[in-house]
Copies of this chain bind each other. A is one copy, B any other.
Amino acid sequence: MSTRSPLPPPERLLLGPGPSMVSQRVLRAMSIPLVGHLDPAFLQIMDDTKRLLQMAFQTRNEMTIPMSGTGSAGMETCFVNLLEPGDEAIVCINGVFGTRMADIVERCGAKLCKVEAPWGRIIESADLKAALNRGTKPKLVAVVHAETSTGVLQPLEEIGALARAAGALFVVDAVTSLGGHPVRVDDWGIDACYSGTQKCLSCPPGLSPVTFSPRAVDVLRQRKTKVQSWYLDLTMIEKYWGNDRVYHHTAPITMNYALNEALRIIEEEGLETRWTRHQKNHQALKAGLAAIGIGLASQENHQLWSLNSVQIPGDVDDAKVRSILLNELNIEIGGGLGVLKGKTWRIGLMGESSSPASVLLVLSALERVLPRCGYKVEGGAAVAAAERVYG
């Protein structure tokens, strides 16, 4: 029964799988006094956020909304709104988040068909094709664009084309890619896409941007049963975010301030510039790690810029390294998830966290810590290699 406040916690450099660093501008937006959820001033913020989300998703979809929950609520939103009991759904699984999608599909009472790949590798479109040829009639095909658990970036165009050819909706998890990698919802024919705020958007966790294509909206409108989740029911939520302004639930006002400000920062930087920045910092980190004999655990040529899945070298103790980084240097990196636990670290370079300073600091920190954990490192080699990438 402590009575001493646990706030504020220590200041960390956040280089894990999210949350990423949040800029002072966004933190300041979080401390703006609140207005009501039906205040004309708030409705204006909602409209502006919708426009900015359309920019981020590269879409004209009218139904583009931040759901009032974290990324997983966005995932659930897509499935509960699009699936009805008895529907068939193909889910591509090559990590934790594909596995989670499959779990949710089954909770919707839908018939699940899995297309799998080893963790750390992409889903091969041939495998999806084979599944489609086995006579399944899927209502949707779902895939993770950026597998946060493995650091793999999934190519989407072929998968999307196959889904469309099969008459299925194409559902994409862009939690760890939106704002850090190109996510071209309209060009790639994505019908439902969701993300989280705490990754490449560099906003605190708490909202989940979701976008539905007109095709997906048609499916939603033609449902025979009610959406099983009241809280995530887009048939009602669209009446609040649309012109009717019908109260559904009280929107998380402050989180919406933060998202608006975070998206404005992205608009000011420019999406293309932002993607290039993420790419460059990833390349520098990768080169630095390679210089001290450490590789990535994800498939070559399909590696995320935003989340680097790093092979833990030799017999190095995963937890010990992360604990020294956190407690002595205030740097957070992530551990592996699921089957990769103890085998990989996950170094996130997302949004504000994607910077040369982050890369140089985490590399020099590893150069300092790894020798204490039994892994010899040629001092300065990693940092020097990264510097060469920056030129």
Task: Give the complex CA separation of A33 and B228 in angstroms.
Answer: 36
Residue A44 CB within 8 A of the other chain: yes
- Secondary structure class of chain A's binding surface, majority of residues: loop
Q: Are B41 and A6 in contact (CB under 8 A)?
A: yes
Shortest CB-to-CB span from A361 to chain B, Å, is 16
Query: Closest residue of chain B to A3, judged by CB?
Result: B267
Residue A68 CB within 8 A of the other chain: yes
Residue A313 CB within 8 A of the other chain: no
Task: Give the complex CA separation of A21 and B230 in angstroms.
Answer: 27
Q: Are B254 and A30 in contact (CB under 8 A)?
A: yes
Residue A196 CB within 8 A of the other chain: yes
Residue A244 CB within 8 A of the other chain: no
Q: Are B9 and A35 in contact (CB under 8 A)?
A: yes
Residue A255 CB within 8 A of the other chain: yes
Q: Are B29 and A7 in contact (CB under 8 A)?
A: yes
Task: Give the complex CA separation of A36 and B10 in angstroms.
Answer: 11
Q: Are B6 and A45 in contact (CB under 8 A)?
A: yes
Residue A311 CB within 8 A of the other chain: no
Chain B residues with Cβ below 8 Å from A253 are 19, 198, 204-205
Chain B residues with Cβ below 8 Å from A252 are 70, 204-206, 255
Task: Give the complex CA separation of A310 and B29 in angstroms.
Answer: 34
Q: Are A73 and B231 in contact (CB under 8 A)?
A: yes
Instruction: Count how many chain A residues have C-beta atoms less than 8 Å from C-beta atoms of the other chain.
Output: 82
From known contacts A76-B230, A206-B252, infer whether A261 and B7 are also in contact, taking CB-CB under 8 Å: yes
Q: Are B231 and A72 in contact (CB under 8 A)?
A: yes
Q: Are B107 and A9 in contact (CB under 8 A)?
A: no
Shortest CB-to-CB span from A302 to chain B, Å, is 24
Residue-wise, chain A 241-263 has the 8 Å CB interface mask toward B (1 for contact) of: 00000011111111101101100
Residue A215 CB within 8 A of the other chain: no
Among A103, A253, A261, A332, residue most surrounded by chain B Cβ atoms (within 10 Å): A253
Name the one of B10, B32, B107 contacting A7, with C-beta atoms under 8 angstroms.
B32
Task: Give the complex CA separation of A48 and B249 in angstroms.
Answer: 28
Chain B residues with Cβ below 8 Å from A44 are 6, 9
Q: Are A337 and B247 in contact (CB under 8 A)?
A: yes
From known contacts A69-B68, A76-B231, A326-B39, infer whether A34 and B10 are also in contact, taking CB-CB under 8 Å: no
Among A80, A108, A206, residue most surrounded by chain B Cβ atoms (within 10 Å): A206
From known contacts A45-B7, A69-B68, infer whether A76 and B229 are also in contact, taking CB-CB under 8 Å: yes
Residue A301 CB within 8 A of the other chain: no
Q: Write the residues of chain A forming the contact surface with B, with a CB cutoff of 8 angstroms.
A: 1-3, 5-12, 14, 16, 18-19, 21-22, 27-37, 39-42, 44-45, 48, 51, 68-73, 75-76, 80, 100, 103-104, 106-108, 196, 198, 204-206, 226-232, 247-255, 257-258, 260-261, 264, 267, 326, 332, 334, 337
Q: Given contacts A5-B260, A9-B39, A76-B229, could you give 11 more A-B pairs where the C-beta distance is less than 8 Å?
A: A8-B32, A9-B35, A11-B33, A18-B250, A21-B33, A68-B73, A69-B231, A100-B230, A204-B254, A229-B229, A254-B254
| Cβ contacts A to B, 17 pairs, < 8 Å | A5-B261, A7-B32, A7-B260, A9-B44, A12-B34, A27-B30, A27-B31, A27-B32, A35-B332, A37-B205, A39-B326, A69-B231, A72-B249, A100-B230, A106-B226, A107-B230, A252-B255
